[in-house]
Amino acid sequence: MDYQASKPYIRTDVLQEMTFDNRLKPSFENAQMKKVLVAFDDKNPIGYVYAEVADVTEDLKYYVPEWANNIYRQGQYIFYLDEQDLPARLGTFNNIYIKPEYHGLNIGYQLSNKVMEWMKNIDGITGIYVYVSNGNEQVVDFYKKFGFQSSHNVLGGFITAYYQKIQRSTPKHL
């Protein structure tokens, strides 16, 4: 989270206060379905991806996580647009980290590809979100490789949401 905290231009203080305990741990513990994939060099972990899938209901459309309480303003989009059809089964590509000395070796892409495949194969999933913190826009092209498109600003631009609709073909009955 240190890398993320070093980049923002909107509310630097909020990202600097984020820790495993107040950001990732609650997300992980409360996830309905989750997947963590870890890459190793011998026995040493060198990177990971984390994704989750949840049955999102209308009341979650306006949920404000504890870390966002001091930046939320009434009327701002939180994580889902008003137009989002809910209830829906939605995925979130939550987090990726690769140690800097392993960048450029395609590790992040391989882990991401596997976690995206996992989410896309969950029954009933209709879409996947990824949320990019302000100041971390250089990762957008990476996510676009997986089919994500810009969706909306979250918390007044503190985060930008990217979305991928999952198309399922309906089998034809004879």
pLDDT tens for each residue of 56-71: 988 777 777 776 767 7
Angstrom distance (rounded) from CA 163 to CA 129: 5
**Reported confidence tier of residue 46, pLDDT bands at 50, 70, 90:** very high
34 found inside a domain: yes
Euclidean distance between CA atoms 88 and 55, whole angstroms: 6
173 assigned to some structural domain? no
Boundaries of domain holding 59: 2-165
* Counted domains in the chain: 1
Q: What confidence score (pLDDT) does residue 16 get?
A: 59
**What letter does residue 1 receive in the DSSP assignment?**
-
Q: CATH no. for residue 32?
A: 3.40.630.30
Dihedral angle computed from the Cα positions of residues 53, 56, 59 and 63, in that order, rounded to the nearest 10 degrees: 30
Hey, is 14 helix, strand or coil? helix
pLDDT digits (tens, 9 = 90+) for 108-162: 999 999 999 999 999 999 999 998 887 777 889 999 999 999 998 887 777 889 9
Predicted pLDDT of residue 172:
43
